[in-house]
Amino acid sequence: MLHNSPGADRPAPSPGRDLPLADELSAVAARVAGLLLSEETVATALGLVSSLLLDTVPGAVGAGVSIVDERDRRSSGSTDARVQQADALQYELDEGPCLAATAGRQLVRVDDLTTDRRWPRWTAAVRPLGLGAAMSAPLVAGDASLGALKVYAEQPGTFDVSTERRLTMASAQAAILVANVQTRERARQLSTGLRQAVRTRDLVSTAKGVLMARHGVPEDVAFGILVSRSDEERRSLVDVARAVSDSAVRRRR
């Protein structure tokens, strides 16, 4: 873990202090478990996790989630506009605790935004927002780092080892939610792609059959006719095949 605080080595509090948060996180998981996950569903669930952190972390004035994947970097479940603005500055400047936590897969704590020197452009940019401290925990699912869960405070030195444990616990739940929806989305995209590929194959096969019957040519010649028309008319092979198939239907009427 990365720390700035001289009190970072204080002993952790007893596990009993974390039980209320654990119960609340379990309740969030139970509410989501029976639902068909979507981007909207996960955004709502992450908003609940962020709100729980805001309620249970002393001194926190904002919380939220940064999701980092092959598409982009974006925020979800932010509790207020300042969190969104601080996050947006990280994405714009390509530096900050959430990005560092995601890349390093470890918790990052910033005890004082006025003195921290790890991300000078970002810390300078967020000071006008009235933020004095920040902490980010990575969302890790299996071998993948999906983003980070974070809390912000106005006063430097707000966060401690107890906060770290709470954020780490909550980030584990948030990682499960994000991983589940991403898995479903990949499966949906694969299924859609396969269905489209089958439809394209069948359409081209039908068009080849029409040309073979119409012109008395073998399959490879029929396919060559489709490709030639595609080039000449500057249309996709699928569009040309659909036009040929439609013409055969009209002739039968």
Which CATH number covers residue 146? 3.30.450.40
| Alpha-carbon 29 to chain mean position | 18
Residue 253: which residues within 8 A CB-CB, separation 6 or more? none
Instruction: Determine, yes or no, domain membership for 116.
Output: yes
The verdict on residue 1 lying in a domain is no
The one-letter amino acid code at 10 reads R
Same structural domain, 120 and 78: yes
Q: Residue range 3-29: average pLDDT? A: 46
Q: Is residue 95 one of the residues assigned to a domain?
A: yes
Tell me whether residue 2 is in a domain: no
Does some domain include residue 3? no
- What is the pLDDT confidence band of residue 117, given thresholds at 50, 70 and 90? very high
In the chain, the N- to C-terminal Cα span, in Å, equals: 74
The CATH number assigned to the domain holding 235 equals 1.10.10.10
Single out the residue in 188, 218, 240 at which a domain terminates. Answer: 188
d(CA 106, CA 148): 10
203 lies in the same domain as 140: no
Q: Is residue 86 part of a domain?
A: yes
Q: How confident is the model at residue 191 (pLDDT cuts 50, 70, 90)?
A: low
**pLDDT, mean over the chain:** 80
Alpha-carbon gap, residue 28 to 176, rounded angstroms: 12
Identify whether 9 is part of a domain. no
Residue 146 burial (10 A CB sphere; 0-12, 13-18, 19+)? buried
Examine the domain organization and report whether 22 and 74 are in the same domain: yes
- Whether residues 164 and 206 share a domain: the answer is no
Compute the Cα dihedral for 85, 90, 96, 98 and give only its sign. Answer: positive
C-beta of residue 122 within 8 angstroms of C-beta of residue 89:
yes
% the chain with pLDDT above 70? 75
Give the count of domains, the chain.
2
Same domain, 172 and 47: yes
| The last residue of a domain, from among 165, 188, 211 | 188
Are residues 183 and 75 both part of a single domain? yes
Which amino acid, one-letter code, is at 220? Answer: D
171 phi, psi to nearest 5 deg: -65, -30
pTM value surpassing 0.95: no
Query: 103 and 127: one domain?
Result: yes
Q: Which two tokens stand for residue 31?
A: 């509410």
The answer to whether residues 157 and 93 belong to one domain is: yes
In a domain, 60, yes or no: yes
CB 32 within 8 A of CB 177: yes
> pLDDT at position 247, please?
82
Last residue of a domain, one of 132, 162, 188: 188
What is residue 29's predicted lDDT score, i.e. its pLDDT?
Answer: 54
173 and 197 assigned to the same domain? no
157 with 235, same domain? no
| In a shared domain, residues 119 and 149 | yes
Any idea what the Cα angle at residue 138 is, between residues 134 and 142, rounded to 5°?
Answer: 175
Find the domain containing 40 and state its range.
15-188
Domain shared by 248 and 146, yes or no? no
Q: Which of 72, 68, 124 is nearest to 100 (CA)?
A: 68
